[in-house]
Amino acid sequence: MKFPPVTRFLLVLLFTLSSDIHNSLHLFSLDARFCWEIKHSRVAFVHSFQFRVITTHFHSSLRRTTRATQNTLYYDQFKVTSISSKSRNEKNHNYYRKDIAYSGRASGVDETSQWNHFLTYILDNYSQIKTHKISRQGLFHFQKMENEPFLQEMIQDIISLQIDCRPNGTKDDGKVYFASLLTPRDQTDIIRLLGSRQLYETMHCFLNFLTSSRNNILPQNHRHFQYAYAAAISALAQSSDQKYRRKAISLLDEMDKLGIEPNSYVITAVFLSIDGGIAVREMLKRVRSYKTIQIDIHIYNAAIYAFSRTPTNNNQSSMNDWQSALAIFRREMPKDGVKPNQQTYASLLQAFAKSGQIKVALSLFDEMRNTPSVGKPSVKVWSALLRACSLAGDWKRTIKLVLAMNEEKVDINVLHLNYVLAALAKSGNDILAFDLLNAMQNKAALSFLYRTCADNVSREFSSEDRILPDLVSINTVLTAFAEKHNKSKAMSLFHEVQEGKHTARKDYKCVVIKPDIVSYNTILSMFEDPRDVVSLLYEIRMTRRNRNNPLKPTCQTYTNAISICSRCNPPDLSMALELLKDAETKDGLIPNVFMYSATIWTAERSGNATIALNVLNLMKPKCKPNTICYDGVMSALGKQGMIEEAMKVFYEMKNDNIPLSRNTFQGLATAASRSSVEMEVLLNNLRKLLTMLSEDEKRVELCGSIYNFLILGYGSIGKVEDALYIFDSIRQTNSQCLSAILYVCSTSHPARWEDAITIIHSSDIVVGAQGPGKIEAMALTYAIIACSKENEGDEALNLLELYGMANNSETPRVKVDAINSVIAAAGRSGRPDIAVKTLNEMSTKFGLSPNERTYRSAIVSCNQAEHEKKRQRDRSAMSSNLNYEEPLSFEYWEVALSLLRRMREDDIHPSTQTYTSVISSCEAAGQWQRALGILRSMTQNQMHKPNLFCFNAALAACEKGNAWLEAVELYERMKAEGGAVRPNFISLNSLLISLEKGEQRELAESIYKEALLRKIVKPWKMTLDSVGSEHIKAMDLHQFSRPMAKIAVRNVIDSLLLKVPTHDATNDLIIIIGKGHGSEDRKAKLMPVVRDILTDEYDIESNIEKSNVGRIRVKSEVLMQFVQRRSWK
């Protein structure tokens, strides 16, 4: 039955007021023709007020129905909303926006189906509604949706959909875009909607569609697009992704191209997207170029506040941002006649807070309080000042500011007390922060602060019952415990919060505080066992059963969990991989770059480069790896020496424009150093790699490890010139590369001491060095060693005096090794005075303490000097090429003993070599008693056992002092101990000399024969005859002393009378005595001794060979005659 319009209106109103939703909908589901009639009728009841009443009650009834009923009525609801919006007139246009809009939320209806129904209705009926534009109320329902893919699809439909606007019966051809049906305010609202859902790409696409010329909807007046761009720029500015924040200025560039003049709102939004640095100053210059913009206080406030954010560009220094903000405040604002307000001071204080300039912030705050035009500081200004002190960890000043706020009757809220908690947490006062939290819970926070400041005056606080902690307070204290590794206290507080023992104030009501995911993440960061991590993740998942506070692990949660697997010893790689998988399968998370990065570094610490590389390849389809991910892979490959894989990863980073870091090059250098590839091949590949780098990437701060490897590599294969070429190609060297090239100079053969001096003088500006002239201590040490190795002691001393001098307040500028090399060089050059002087001045002049090697080098130099004196005494004259400052009678053996005593006093244990040098110096001076005393002290000390050199030096000392009995005792002791101290040829030689001086011929001969049996001495060897045609057996006395040579000859001649002689008398006896080239006077010392024994003692004639004057020949006939004579007797 069809009712007249008036009847239908009354019935709808009756059913609606009676909540009969089905009948009212049935009557209200009008066809398009009736819509046309309503549009043009002059019936009094079709007044906009009446429609507002109908639709208002209609939606009230709809909200009172069940959810199931709502799900079946959405299509009709869209009809009602659309018809109602078409029915209003222009006067009450804005009034109806709020009344007609229905924002119901249905969980059982598919959002895409709702949108399709809505579009279908528009397409079916709009051709009969002439040119009236559809209001945004039809889209208002979809603004409540949370399905981001659906919103993207909806915007694509709005952009692409065209609608036939012709009424029935008309022939004119006209289609408009669906977007043209939206008012400018509707378009701006859609942009805000997309920005709030972080759909920035879709937002930019929609904005480009609106401003493009092809859609014919861009009006001649572009003014309303200022708001659309302002909304888009504001949305980008609020993004946490710097990639989108940087696009805000790009949108401003688009406005300039389209001729859309920005207003102050647009400029303010642009400043919100800038993070300090020079970008703020450049933007201010650009704003001044706009003639239509008058820079007001809002723009200045936004510009100053931008300095409170940290720049993302590493090349921009944020240390001076507070000075730039202050310069704008002091210079530019007065120049433009702009007076600061409360927000200006708050923004300045925020900039000071970021830079840690507390004193400047307090000074500015006092200035503000003394400026009447600004007024008393607002809560926002106090909060900014509190934040500055909180970030600096100055908890005492933060507390005093809170108490000052109370004295000036400024409302104190939980935010201000949270700043106090944050300051306590940053300064490490976790227990005090916990006490303040309890005081807040007991509504006595201000009293606690007064007591903390040692104020014993009792005060009453009427507002204190309003200050209760919130969840931020709890998390701040948990963070304080986490930073102090106070796990027990943190877990205790966490369990209290779980049990509901802490309350907060919300909407003038006390509510129970429950831990959020931040609380769980903080607790998670303190765990050390991966099994505890798994338990906590399970506990987080169980909170989903609680409808009031369901929690879900976030990517940060899993990042912390995987990091714990990396920190434990040993790293639990299998658990890390399982957690990465659980994030997707159990919690529906898409792993982000931080989760993958933590997994890669876990594999790196586990030494599994293959898994690190697999994880990197796994993440590429899901998210783009960053530098940290690649650095983890490079480090893992470097530890295993996988240079080929490391090179592939490096080239991949270059192709994908991944920023290279210092760790990237360090991993590559480590892989090269541990690789089994031939060194020259590695060096060629790395030099080729350097040619691919940009000038910025070639900075030594980044690829210094590659330069260092190349220098050391070329030095190891003896190509010093190539190493010098690599060093010269560095624009500004560092201490590592400088030390490397000087090390190459010091280890080459011969040492390149001249190049070392040139480099050390020309490379006196090194980034990060500590020494004078910016020369690093290790580099100076290598340069001094290079000079010392070539006995260029004067040059070494010059470098030491020039660069090695240290003040009392500075760290040493040179290493002990350099001092040791100078002392050793002085000893080799015959300057023990310089060696001892340098040792004595180490502490006062160079700020270094001598070590065992220092004393040893000085003692060795004294030993060498004492032996030189002995040689001079033997020659009875000083060599003309020596110039001693000390007199000849100076006793260096006493200096050696003194240095040995100083070592013991300084609790430095002398080495065996040091003892040997002291004993040898005593031996050279003829102090055999001292030598034996030192040898005994070694035995008693039991720290160092005497070695063969110690015994030989002591035997030599006994030989010099004619102490043959002590020499025999030492010799027997050496035989008894055996092993490494078994007597050798030198021991026997010294002993036989002592016995000869003591006229112990029989004992000497007996010991010699025993030495023959023990093979300590081997006088016989095979040599060529005088013609050189055949090998003969000869007696070699080359290294024999005179006493040993005598005993050896006697032993051979006497054995001719035995049954088993050592020489066959039927053969000539060849005795090699040498030509005297090793003696000081170039004469054969043994020649007369041997011939005299043969002639005087045995009456044997001997001849010197003409072809070799170093040989004595006794013919077989003479030997046979000797045997016959002695045999007869």
Q: Concatenated DSSP letters for 795-822? A: HHHHHHHHH----TTS--SS-HHHHHHH
Measure the CA–CA gap between 920 and 924, rounded to whole angstroms. 6
Alpha helices in 640-734 (DSSP H): 643-655, 662-673, 679-692, 700-716, 720-728
Give the C-alpha distances (Å, rounded to integers) separating 883 from 29, 394, 872, 880.
123, 67, 13, 8
Please tell me what DSSP assigns to residue 666: H
Q: What percent of the chain has pLDDT over 70?
A: 76
Confidence grade of residue 32 (pLDDT, cut at 50, 70, 90): very low
Quote the tokens at residue 911.
């080495």
**pLDDT average, residue stretch 699-724:** 93
Q: Which of 237-251, 395-409, 633-647 has the lowest mean pLDDT?
A: 237-251
Measure the CA–CA gap between 916 and 900, rounded to whole angstroms. 11
Measure the CA–CA gap between 20 and 24, rounded to whole angstroms. 6
Say if residue 600's pLDDT is above 60: yes
Chain-centre distance of CA 1047, in angstroms? 73
Element containing residue 787 per DSSP (H, E)? helix 777-789
Say if residue 203's pLDDT is above 80: yes
Helix 530-542 vs helix 555-567: angle between axes, to the nearest 10 degrees? 160
**pLDDT average, residue stretch 340-358:** 88
Confidence grade of residue 79 (pLDDT, cut at 50, 70, 90): very low
Measure the CA–CA gap between 33 and 39, rounded to whole angstroms. 10
- Which residues, 6+ apart, have CB-to-CB distance to 376 below 8 Å? 369, 408
Q: Which of 151-165, 466-480, 584-598, 703-717 has the lowest mean pLDDT?
A: 151-165
| pLDDT of 522 | 93
- Nearest Cα neighbor of 128 from 163, 96, 85, 93 is 163
Measure the CA–CA gap between 1058 and 1123, rounded to whole angstroms. 10
Q: Which of 103-117, 905-919, 996-1010 has the lowest mean pLDDT?
A: 103-117
Confidence grade of residue 613 (pLDDT, cut at 50, 70, 90): very high
Residue-wise burial string across 66-99, b where 16 or more C-beta atoms lie within 10 A, e elsewhere: eeeebeebbbbbbbbbbbbbbbbeeeeeeebbeb
Return the number of other C-beta atoms located less than 10 Å from residue 35's C-beta: 17
**pLDDT average, residue stretch 195-209:** 83
Confidence grade of residue 510 (pLDDT, cut at 50, 70, 90): confident
Measure the CA–CA gap between 35 and 726, rounded to whole angstroms. 86
| pLDDT of 1104 | 87
ω into 659 cis (within 30 of 0): no
Assess contact for 150 and 115: CB atoms under 8 A.
yes
**pLDDT average, residue stretch 227-239:** 87
- As a three-state string, the secondary structure of 176-244 is EEHHHHCCHHHHHHHHHHHHHCCCHHHHHHHHHHHHCHHHCCCCCCCCCHHHHHHHHHHHHHCCCCHHH
Residue-wise burial string across 937-951, b where 16 or more C-beta atoms lie within 10 A, e elsewhere: ebeeeeebebebbbb
Residues 529-581: tens digit of each pLDDT = 988 999 999 888 888 766 666 888 999 999 999 999 999 989 999 999 999 99
Q: Which of 270-279, 762-771, 1022-1031 has the lowest mean pLDDT?
A: 762-771
| pLDDT of 353 | 87
Please tell me what DSSP assigns to residue 1103: E
**pLDDT average, residue stretch 17-29:** 44
Question: 1034 has which bridge partners?
Answer: 1021
Question: 163 has which bridge partners?
Answer: 176
User: Strand 1103-1104 vs strand 1111-1114: parallel, antiparallel, or unpaired?
Assistant: antiparallel
| pLDDT of 1064 | 87
Say if residue 472's pLDDT is above 60: yes
Assess contact for 498 and 516: CB atoms under 8 A.
no
Measure the CA–CA gap between 836 and 854, rounded to whole angstroms. 10
Chain-wide mean pLDDT for the chain?
Answer: 79
Return the number of other C-beta atoms located less than 10 Å from residue 500's C-beta: 11
Give the C-alpha distances (Å, rounded to integers) separating 910 from 822, 828, 834, 906.
20, 21, 21, 11
Q: Contacts by 451-459 with C-beta closer than 8 Å and gap 24+?
A: 452/399, 453/396, 453/399, 453/400, 453/403, 455/403
Question: 503 has which bridge partners?
Answer: 512
| pLDDT of 594 | 94
**pLDDT average, residue stretch 911-923:** 90
Give the C-alpha distances (Å, rounded to integers) separating 544 from 1, 536, 539, 548.
53, 14, 10, 9
Say if residue 126's pLDDT is above 70: no
Measure the CA–CA gap between 124 and 35, rounded to whole angstroms. 13
**pLDDT average, residue stretch 455-467:** 53
Say if residue 636's pLDDT is above 90: yes
For residue 1035, the SS3 value is: strand
Confidence grade of residue 508 (pLDDT, cut at 50, 70, 90): confident
Q: Regarding predicted confidence, which is higher, 471 or 1024?
A: 471
- Which residues, 6+ apart, have CB-to-CB distance to 350 below 8 Å? 305, 308, 384, 387, 388
| pLDDT of 50 | 38
**pLDDT average, residue stretch 456-476:** 70
**pLDDT average, residue stretch 798-818:** 79
**pLDDT average, residue stretch 993-1017:** 90
Q: Regarding predicted confidence, which is higher, 271 or 132?
A: 271
**pLDDT average, residue stretch 383-412:** 90
Give the C-alpha distances (Å, rounded to integers) separating 705 from 599, 675, 700, 734, 737.
26, 16, 8, 10, 8
Q: Contacts by 1056-1061 with C-beta closer than 8 Å and gap 24+?
A: 1056/1119, 1056/1122, 1056/1123, 1056/1126, 1057/1123, 1057/1126, 1057/1127
- Nearest Cα neighbor of 756 from 715, 695, 717 is 715
| Residues composing the chain | 1129
Give the C-alpha distances (Å, rounded to integers) separating 1092 from 195, 244, 1096, 1099, 1105.
116, 106, 6, 9, 17
Q: Which of 289-303, 374-388, 755-769, 914-928 has the lowest mean pLDDT?
A: 755-769
Say if residue 713's pLDDT is above 80: yes
- Which residues, 6+ apart, have CB-to-CB distance to 834 below 8 Å? 793, 797, 826
Measure the CA–CA gap between 1072 and 21, rounded to whole angstroms. 134
Say which amino acid occupies 848: L
User: Strand 509-512 vs strand 503-506: parallel, antiparallel, or unpaired?
Assistant: antiparallel
